[in-house]
Structure 1
């Protein structure tokens, strides 16, 4: 939707691409420092600030639709996502641990991802009538309002850590996190697995192209995309269950992705939907294993490092698809993208203890 806004504002394809790059760079630069801040000071504070930053970005796009303010809006949007990254997982896991319910972490995070996917589906469905009724200004105002609802939600999270449990200096948290990272190979492997598995989300952007390449007519492409989205939602709802089987399940998912995308038929998207659902489930499993390994004092920091790795994998996926598309169609590219997840499945199976 917003890509259309940028185009209608007179931006070229290159200018729009530069905005997406700026978005990624902003996330890269802010992700790890914000994670350290969350461990040093307050995770709840960052969860309260994050939606406000995103809302400010939307407001700039709505009221000042020009390239400089689009760019600043993307910086704010990237900052909002980066500030939230790490802080949420750390706060939820630690509070559940205090209640003796850390076993519920996977289920809660999986359900939150499923609800987020459902909300995106609902927003997409509502965007067209809102745009028809009030134009981009109405869509923008609705986006700002919804984002701002996240401020009181973030503030409502409990944070039981007392001042004595927090590091006194930002640098001390950084040193503690680096020491933990150097001294624990299991944490390094866990972070790499999280980054690789989560990076599959980047492929979701190309699902419409895959549906079209597999022979779907223009009218059926949205339906096939919806089927894949439903698979992702189901995977989120199942998150936290049966995590000891993450390796084998991920291997089967990789095979389904390769077979379904390479089938050349619209029905192959059903297999792709199951694969993406399994990937979503595996993301929750990988995150859970990482949280079980890291210490409370550096939890947000190390989770943010994993998030940083996820962004790198996503950018590499975008770049690889862009380069490969000059020689291969969407089906073969998706099939090739499935190959690395076989090795990730092996890594998850070996680290299941």
Structure 2
């Protein structure tokens, strides 16, 4: 059992990990950027193409960057990701055209690729190094809840920011949050790579050794994600529930389509955020759920999203989405913990990135569906996606590994 001197560094690490997660979603521009695009003259199809570009960039860069996170300083990659994140929103403000929005999404996709698997691997390995691996579910679940809470707060702040300075002020405020996140990153452990040059058959010191370690991490992570039945199932389940978050990109458009005023959209999105936060908090107590129960939660989430698309009233739609996205957030945390617990080899970030790539592929399919949907509204394609989500619940129940029982030390 850890003594008082050991618990204090763990608590300090947890605070920093929680702060990073909260700041990553605390962007005032999130609830209104789809409206920024349409008010700049873009059609629903063009908005969906931008979102698809965002995912494609992530697909291309996610796994290679995950392998780098198993090779070089993870803190360095997180710092670079924060800088690129800020550049993405600055580009939207400075160049409010289709080309500028596309460049911003490309930068955002790069930032996400640099940080997603990197952060999760850093958190898990650093906690494990302090004999606190069992704290990971708590840190990630509470972190998701704080992230949603931070997003909810900044969503509510978006209304007065819009009233005072329009989209420009909302955008620059988001850039400022990215810079605060950069300061938090500077306080994290350096997190040295877990795939060492010693493990390579052709271990040769010199300039080429980093590339050799990168290739080894890539090979190890992809191998485990595809050949281990347990890890493969966890990767598929995690990717599926992560992709379900694609719907929130269209919340603002749905609410305005149903009659909500511009300044009221952030408030409705904030209500949905409260449900997501609650779902993430419950997830810390649901990590032992059976796969069938988790699959049932996904199916119920799909039914609630479909209800939101049908009701025609923005407030009722927000209430339905609050419940539905609370369940989605719960299963996101649950599946992420199961994936981490099944990984046995060193290339943890690469395996996680493989799951993220699959999630992005599914997201692109959804974006293309919205872009090709007949008419200009989002309710009909949202209803189709909700029906697909209900069916995906069956697959999640099949793929998700059972909970890992705690080891009993004699």
Q: 1:109 corresponds to which residue?
A: 140
CA-to-partner distance for each residue in 1:92-143, whole Å, 9 max, x for gaps? 0001001111111111111111122122222222223223323333222212
1:230 partnered with 2:274: yes
Give the total of aligned pairs.
350
1:30 partnered with 2:74: no
1:60 partnered with 2:60: no
Q: CA deviation at 1:195?
A: 0.3
When the two structures are superposed, what TM-score results if normalisation uses the length of structure 1? 0.85
Distance 2:290 2:248 in 1: 21
Q: Is the 8 A contact 1:43 1:88 kept in 2?
A: yes
What pairs up with 1:201-280 in 2 under 5 angstroms? Answer: 201-207=245-251, 218=260, 225-257=269-301, 259-261=303-305, 270=319, 272-280=321-329
Secondary structure in 2 matching 1:40: coil
Q: 1:342 corresponds to which residue?
A: 394
Q: 1:125 corresponds to which residue?
A: 156
Distance 2:179 2:115 in 1: 14
1:146 partnered with 2:177: yes
Q: 1:312 corresponds to which residue?
A: 361
Structure 1 portions without partners, runs of 5+: none
Moved more, 7-16 or 101-110: 7-16
The 1:102/1:149 distance shift into structure 2, 3 A limit, reads same
Distance 2:297 2:194 in 1: 45
Structure 2 portions without partners, runs of 5+: 1-31, 200-208, 405-410
Moved more, 301-310 or 106-115: 106-115
Q: 1:74 corresponds to which residue?
A: 105
1:293 partnered with 2:345: no
Q: Is the 8 A contact 2:71 2:196 kept in 1?
A: no
Distance 2:174 2:116 in 1: 20
Q: 1:87 corresponds to which residue?
A: 118
Q: 1:100 corresponds to which residue?
A: 131
Distance 2:128 2:399 in 1: 26
Q: CA deviation at 1:192?
A: 0.6
Distance 2:385 2:224 in 1: 37
RMSD: 3.2
Moved more, 160-169 or 33-42: 160-169
Q: 1:174 corresponds to which residue?
A: 218
When the two structures are superposed, what TM-score results if normalisation uses the length of structure 2? 0.74
CA-to-partner distance for each residue in 1:183-230, whole Å, 9 max, x for gaps? 4221111111110111111133445677799xx764798776544322
